[in-house]
Structure 1
Amino acid sequence: MRKGWIVNGLAGGAVGIAALLGCKSAPPPAMTSEVAFVVIQPRKAALTTELPGRTAPYQVAEVRPQVNGLIQKRLFEEGTDVKEGAVLYQIDPVPYQAALDQAKATLAAAQANLPAIRARAERTKGLAEAKAVGQQEADEAQAAFLQAQAAVAAGKAAVSNAEFNLANTPIKAPIQGRAGKSSVTVGALVTAYQPASLVTVTRLDPIYVDVTQSSAELLRLRKRLEGGKLHSGDGARKAKLILEDGTPYQLEGRLQFRDVTVDPSTGAVTLRMVFPNPKQVLLPGMFVRAILEDGVDDQAILAPQQGISRDAKGNAIALVLDASNRIEQRIVNLDRALGDSWVVQSGLNAGDRLVVEGIQKVRPGMTVKAVPFAPAAQPAGAQK
């Protein structure tokens, strides 16, 4: 009786243990990963290129004297703005005033003699026709008249030259701009058209920005414009600047011209832009980064940067959801960054659902739970 109880007890315990072991080895139910997606929709976008460059003065004038003489006065302060036509230096005008007075006197004497000589030539001509005087005398009278006319013309030229010299004793600014350091002082002797300039005047408003762009990039841009993928918007390529300290320049510029030759050592082309500079924040020689508008794409495919990753070979890849919420991996061809998005040339199409959150938890072929991406709420009081 007791022995049977023990056997039955052992059998019941074995069944219980087997049941427990069976429950423990059963796999837990699989959990479906959740991802967030955005729907790719074409939209109008202005495509830009960021290029390094330096500022250059809009106009530079090296001021030199046009006459010889001593500097009597300097009529400007170094480092200040001067207007076009403002007198910068005064050369001693006394010798040139005397030369002008002498030229005027010589001209007056030549003009005074001219009427009498003209009358004599006319009378002699009439008498020669009447055979009252010889032809030789008539010819001499006509020659004297022509000489008198030449003396008057020479006198007028001498007066004009003297007036020019006197007018250039005040040395004026040929352009509006900022005067630099003066190379001469009062009392210095200067010569006409000397090699060394007296002062340099630089116009800073507006100001040029010269940048370089690869010729290959220019060819790609031309193909896209000619193919209708891009258009030039309002026809003027606009430009913006980022200063050396990383701050944006507040005023907008425009592309003025593109050089017609390619630098063989760099394979780049120089582009020149012009920017307004009323406060003279930009100075010649500053390093800047120019953001140049290439064109407008009315049907640009933009993908959030967080939805694009790289594989081991460096290819840009995107994870896309099909109709069954299965993960599909695609290799995409990127053009450039635009804000927080990539401009996609190929690999994504309008209407595709691009995974932007949960990428690390999934792999191609997996079926997932998909929810629309909700951007994080902006903190209260944050600037928009």
Structure 2
Amino acid sequence: MKRAQTDHEAFSSVVTPPTGKAPDWILFSDPPRHTKLRAIVLRAFTPRSIAALEPRVRELSRELLDARIERGEMDLAADYAGPLPTMVIAEMIGIPVEDRARLLRWSEVIVNLSHAISGGEEAARAVGEHAAAKEEMSGYLADLSGARRRAPKDDLLTRLVEAEVDGERLTEGEILDFFQLLLAAGTETTTNLIDNAILCFVESPGELSRLRAAPELLPSAIEEVLRYRSPVQMVYREARRDVALHGQVIPAGKLVLPVIGSANRDPQQFREPGRFDIGRDPNPHVAFGHGVHFCIGASLARLEARIALSDLPWRLRGIELASKEPWEPRKALNVHGPARLPICFEPGRRLSAAG
């Protein structure tokens, strides 16, 4: 798993699925281009800038829970885990509040591009839906970028508009590529992380009781959710040459799918890998990838999860799944989490009403 992500002479991130070339995102690029593009986005994900988001993320979490807590039930995915990271990334980019629903729709279309690796009708449908959404995003972003050029703001879109690579400003197409990646990666991973955490605690109530008794275990609990139910299950690479690995040969030009979810259950790396243990130490998981492609938004995802799991288990007492039917997984092939997650709990009071 780690070799496929660090041996750039053997494995390339520029992949060619059956439907044609992969999107021209930083995710599908190699050094040195990857290094230059990554440096641009990193300007918005400094430790200081992420820490500054905490009060706002807490406020958004409170608002979302206040809207449902008196009812004693909600669809966690639709009512909380989906909207929270979408609101955060929208504010970081500089997207108006009224356009958030559009962002959720675009994000789902982008993530469903994972079906392009399989070929066939489903792949063609995913590519077609993305082409239509991309045209819509392009027009929307062109208007918004133009507004930032005329009147810059303190947001990520302004940074992209003003950024330079080798002395040249980013093109509209490059800004669109960044926008799509930030939209998908900035929402999907955190949504699944929050949903998966609640699934873990519902299935392992003893660990939830343990967390409530020892809140200082929260950071460790988040890392265990990342390992045990990895939000992103695989990445894409292409063999540059014939590669000998574990007695087999991967032919040059073949698509390779290093499976994060499998690596994080490797019995050679983890003791009792099938057990959910919020105090697991050490926990060398690779849920956020490894090497130069390590997830840029990992610190943001951890922050949002820490706030969500500081709120959910304490405000929603007696959390249970609202249905005994198996939960429906999200459609995208490379992610892991529920499409819907109806839960019930003891009705509580709005924090605003409680003062």
Shorter-normalised TM range: under 0.3
Larger radius of gyration: 1
TM-score normalised over the length of structure 1: 0.19
Structure with the larger strand share = 1
Structure with the larger helix share = 2
